[in-house]
Amino acid sequence: MGRSLTVFIYTDFPSESLDIDVITERLDRFGISAKSRGDLFEFLGNSDIRFHIADILARSRITDIENPLDVLPADNEAQADSELRKMSGLESVRGEFYDGLWMQRILHGALSGRNPGETGRGYIHMIFTGRLFGTYDGRRYHARVILAGSPALISTSGLVEAPAKPREYYFIKGGLVRSGQDVSELDIMYKGRYVEYDDPKISPILSSYALQAVYYELTGGEFCGDTGCCLYNSHWQVEVLKVQYEGGICEKCLEALREAG
Ligand SMILES: [Zn+2]
């Protein structure tokens, strides 16, 4: 028996290279109906809610990657104002790092408040954001591409920053930086071996992560252990290019997703 699913897609100033149509078309090929709702904060409307979200987002910024944000710090008006500008695209989110679980909590509350009938089974809310977020693993925060759940958060900045570049890239870069040399040559040398902020590959790659968010909703499973499957948890840029970009889906995951169609 198939389960009927509707995916709602929102954007929060992701990379300009992201084309949401590529995402909805990929989901559609699996029989999953996805609707784009445009800008997240415009959709949420109401200025009181926007201000509340800005306040929580500002307090969800990670200032020390070794300390988990179990409790949010006191509110800070200047930072909340800066978040409001970021939510309207008037200020860049580049350089900020957020606790993904706090982001998810506040956005879950806001979306369920906006449309109470669209919560729970049968609905997936998916937010493509430019914000870099991470989760704490017991020792430190790690940047993530995706945080599945309600809503699912998928970050275009996370796609660039979270999966590691080749080891020797960091080694050579460290040497160049220490000796005060220009590192741009290095980026040219390694071009194509990792995803960049304005990369046209972002859309097809993130369509694999969108499938992963659906897979999580259906099965509760986070990632697939098959290193050739596009639902595999890639830790390296080279894996992202191989499986999320060039790879297909394994039989087992395909079966699980078909249940949704
Ligand atoms: Zn798989």
pTM of this prediction? Answer: 0.94
Query: What tokens does 168 get?
Result: 């020797």
How remote is the CA of residue 211 from the centroid of ligand 1, in Å? 11
Helix/strand/coil (H/E/C) assignment for every residue in 25-74: HHHHHCCCEEEEEEEHHHHHCCHHHHHHHHHHHHHCECCCCCCCCCCCCC
For the chain, helix, strand, coil in percent to 5 are 45, 20, 40
- What is the set of domains in the chain, with CATH numbers? 6-258 (3.40.390.10)
How remote is the CA of residue 91 from the centroid of ligand 1, in Å? 38
* Cβ pair 134, 99 in contact under 8 A: yes
57 residue type, one letter: L
* Cβ pair 102, 60 in contact under 8 A: yes
How remote is the CA of residue 223 from the centroid of ligand 1, in Å? 8
How remote is the CA of residue 253 from the centroid of ligand 1, in Å? 4
How remote is the CA of residue 5 from the centroid of ligand 1, in Å? 20
How remote is the CA of residue 7 from the centroid of ligand 1, in Å? 20
| Interval 153-205: pLDDT, tens | 999 999 999 999 988 999 999 999 999 998 888 888 888 899 999 999 999 99
Q: What distance separates the 2 farthest-apart alpha carbons in the chain?
A: 63
How remote is the CA of residue 244 from the centroid of ligand 1, in Å? 11
pLDDT score for 151 = 97
How remote is the CA of residue 34 from the centroid of ligand 1, in Å? 21
The number of beta carbons lying within 10 Å of the beta carbon of residue 244 is 26
How remote is the CA of residue 251 from the centroid of ligand 1, in Å? 7
pLDDT surpassing 70 at residue 73: yes
